[in-house]
Structure 1
């Protein structure tokens, strides 16, 4: 098995709010990948003493441990437990009911000799390459269904759509959100590789339209995960005013790519 992980902040002067890890059990049978994209809060309070990187590091660490150490526990249950554990770490000091309490998107995958499980919450992507070379994107598309004009306003998104029925869901402090995740199981024998991308890396496809998901994976496989991030950065630098490519709230975004060839 070959794995590759690249995670880069959008601004070198700001901490990276993404988290990424690959978990490998001592038995050598199977493994897991965890990718989180922390939600950057707007200017103003969050009700929490802690930063988004603090949250993603703790939630991501818990998920890495649980997906490996509890292989028979469904990924949704692992996410619920990880959220509960993370919330317990700051419930006495912070207002976890605040709508902007630290939170993140979640992409999980776990493989055994027989199966590949996946879980998606919000707008990161998981690319599954089959043994015949077909690339299938697994996405939680609920955020993209919100009209673009309303997505442009953080206040509107928070008030009307975030973690609400008819909207979209992110991992924050309520473990019940795990039941809202997109999940599934595939036969391991039919899977050649897995690639998880936060939306900062997926911009190459979703915002800049430089190629489809199959071409995106081709770049990662042949040139490496860092090459994809470098391509995104070049496109961002060429359009700093965000005029050519619409739908970008930031010129640069944290970008993470995890590739696992099974």
Structure 2
């Protein structure tokens, strides 16, 4: 096995191979999340779109690896692992921390001379210019646990199991360190369209903060506010997948005309 294929196997999961799809959608999980969060998305979009779900270190089958506490470093590692997949147009979808990573990956694509993403989907995250002072990374395990329960994004049975918590807490804490200490270092504007998704009752993102993602591209931006909190996309999965499919189909048609 080559070094490149090793990186691919570690970082990128293809749950439904779609060799004839015209594009790929890279999906990036939230803080504490894993690639399996996007298994239903992969199933729903295949074979029209091949979904690449990113697996961060420190969780599931990468549990023995330390988490990465710098978001730019994490983006660098993911971008390196995605190189074998740039033979087809890429779209990027990230939720919460994953939205920031998706934007960082788009910037790296531009810096590397690759085409901008077909579309950038940012979900459950305010624009980088909308900073809030957050200290979840500094809390005790009990304090972090309270935050996870308040966001309703993690199975309650897992959060109530001490053995499971012992396994997942280091990755959750390192993810929060990465995203809470992150500051955007580039003033480069993208040219791709950005689709913004948010919940109308998200305690971490106000719709006006989400809407400011339009400041980061010269392309079109559309904002979609769904009923629900921070993990609205789990409750509104069918609507979210339908929106993503529609936007990607439009992007594919545009790419075909340009070609």
* TM-score, normalisation: structure 1: 0.30
The structure richer in helix per residue is 2
Q: Which has the higher contact order (CA 8 A, sep 6+)?
A: 1
